[in-house]
Amino acid sequence: MADPAAAPGWAGWRTVLWLGVVSLLADLVYEGARSITGPFLASLGASALTVGLVTGAGEAAALGFRLYSGPAVDRSGRYWRWMVVGYALTAVCVPLMALAPALGAAGLVFGAAMVLLERTGKAIRSPAKSVLLAVAARDVGRGRGFGVHKALDQTGAFLGPLLVAGVVALSLHQWAGLLVLAVPGALVLGVLAWMHTHIGDPGRAPEVIGVPLESLPGRFYVYAVACALTTVGLMTFGVISFHLVHERLVATAGVPVVYAAAMAADAVASLGTGFAYDRVGGGTLVVLPLVVAAVPFLVFTDRAGIAVAGVVLWGVATGVQDSTVKALVADLVPQTRLATAYGAFAAFQAVAALAGGGLAGWLYGGHRGALVGGIVVVQAVALVLLIGVLSRSRRGRRGRPTRR
């Protein structure tokens, strides 16, 4: 596969950094929206169960559709086309959510549909973007590459909720906070158009038919199951924000600020574990199930300070899950199957996200103790599986840069 940074002047780090800028702008859009999705849907008449199902289904769409988009990218080799279509869906659907309050009884259905379409856009673009990033980061260290990219990504995730919080506080309308996100959405597409004049698609992978899951290593599947179990424990922020507002721990306008703090922790965690991954290997990831298990103990309390600390810890776990976890995927499978592997990996997470969102929404009302205990048990299983994968791996990673 050709290096996506093959154009003159586009070394690995430059590609990583500009892909990070694109993600920064996109995160301004969809993370800004996600920071108020729970309260916004609730304002349209949604219950805790509905919020859990919609946000869980959204994450399932963002992950599950990659089972198709990943192999399709490998077959077509049209990485840029898939990325642009996916980013365009996000740039359009998020501002359209602002129309929901004006639609009366249909507002909840429309708002939920926009959430699902926006998340589907992420599924369309993610395998292609991950391949470009994994190939570009090959020579600089995949842990570092994914970590730095994620840090830029989370800079947008930090600023987006703050932007939304400011607009909501000034206008007293949640829809206004969504509408303003049309501006960074337009910038995303502009930067992509400029980048494409300097960087092209990687070389086309060999033709494959269907979804060649049998071609992926067995330890990849075990790893995918372990990470899916951590996803079950990582409840969607829609459920968490519903709790914060429902229990009057945080004002509605303050929820995006709390989410921004979680995204800042996300960025720091992705950088820290990314650099650690390039030094000590996949063993860095054993911390993930332990952190996930601790989150519900803190979040589901009646004390605002402790709950906010739980949200920050949730951000740490999310940072590891969305960055360093992906670096190990790239080191477990052949390069010609990277997009397919990311798609298959995401499919496991899709089922887990839907199950986790639905479970949290269902048990939240009267069985929070069972919810907390169940997450702890699931994380214990995830930890055992993860240790098994790492113990069978000769190095835990293959993308480590040569030391001089």
pLDDT at site 2: 44
Q: Is residue 221 part of a domain?
A: yes
H/E element, 374:
helix 368-392
Q: Is residue 252 part of a domain?
A: yes
For residue 174, CA distances in Å to 32, 116, 308 come to 11, 19, 21
CA distance 390 to 193: 40
pLDDT at site 401: 44
H/E element, 49:
helix 48-64
How confident is residue 56, by pLDDT bands cut at 50, 70 and 90?
confident
Give the rounded percent of residues in the chain with a pLDDT score beyond 90.
11
pLDDT at site 400: 44
pLDDT at site 3: 47
Nearest C-alpha neighbor of 329 from the set 133, 125, 167, 158: 133
Q: Which of 209 and 302 is assigned the larger pLDDT?
A: 302
- C-beta of residue 337 within 8 angstroms of C-beta of residue 266: no
Question: Has residue 390 got a pLDDT over 70?
Answer: yes
Burial degree of 321 (CB within 10 A; 0-12, 13-18, 19+): buried
pLDDT at site 397: 42
Other residues' Cβ atoms within 10 Å of the Cβ of residue 10: 18
Q: Is residue 1 part of a domain?
A: no
CA distance 314 to 68: 29
Nearest C-alpha neighbor of 312 from the set 267, 252, 274: 267
Other residues' Cβ atoms within 10 Å of the Cβ of residue 402: 5
Give the rounded percent of residues in the chain with a pLDDT score beyond 70.
89
Q: To 5 degrees, how large is the angle CA 399–CA 332–CA 279?
A: 40
The radius of gyration of the chain's CA atoms, rounded to the nearest angstrom, is 20
Nearest C-alpha neighbor of 21 from the set 164, 167, 130, 184: 184
Joined together, the tokens standing for residue 21 give: 């800028």
How confident is residue 366, by pLDDT bands cut at 50, 70 and 90?
low
pLDDT at site 394: 52
- C-beta of residue 157 within 8 angstroms of C-beta of residue 27: yes
Q: Is residue 402 part of a domain?
A: no
Q: Is residue 371 part of a domain?
A: yes
- How many residues are there in the chain? 404
Nearest C-alpha neighbor of 364 from the set 115, 55, 51, 54: 51
Give how many domains the chain has, as a whole number: 1
Tell me, what CATH number does 22's domain have?
1.20.1250.20
For residue 65, CA distances in Å to 120, 198, 287 come to 7, 29, 28
Joined together, the tokens standing for residue 239 give: 């459920």
The winner for highest mean pLDDT among 283-292, 316-325, 385-394 is 283-292
DSSP 190-232: HHHHHHTTT--PPPPPPP--S--GGGS-HHHHHHHHHHHHHHH
Other residues' Cβ atoms within 10 Å of the Cβ of residue 268: 15
pLDDT at site 26: 92
- pTM confidence score: 0.69
How confident is residue 29, by pLDDT bands cut at 50, 70 and 90?
very high
Q: Is residue 401 part of a domain?
A: no
Joined together, the tokens standing for residue 394 give: 């000769």
What would the pLDDT profile of 220-249 be if each residue is shown by its tens digit? 888 999 998 998 888 777 778 887 887 788
Residue 162: give the domain boundaries.
12-203+212-392
Q: Is residue 199 part of a domain?
A: yes
How confident is residue 10, by pLDDT bands cut at 50, 70 and 90?
low
- C-beta of residue 60 within 8 angstroms of C-beta of residue 354: yes
Question: Has residue 199 got a pLDDT over 80?
Answer: no
Q: Is residue 306 part of a domain?
A: yes
Checking phi first, is residue 292 left (phi over 0); if not, alpha (psi -120 to 50) or beta?
alpha
What would the pLDDT profile of 90-121 be if each residue is shown by its tens digit? 999 999 999 988 888 888 999 889 989 998 99
The winner for highest mean pLDDT among 5-9, 88-92, 160-164, 241-245 is 88-92
CA 87 to chain centre: 14
The winner for highest mean pLDDT among 102-106, 119-123, 300-304, 332-336 is 119-123
CA distance 349 to 321: 10
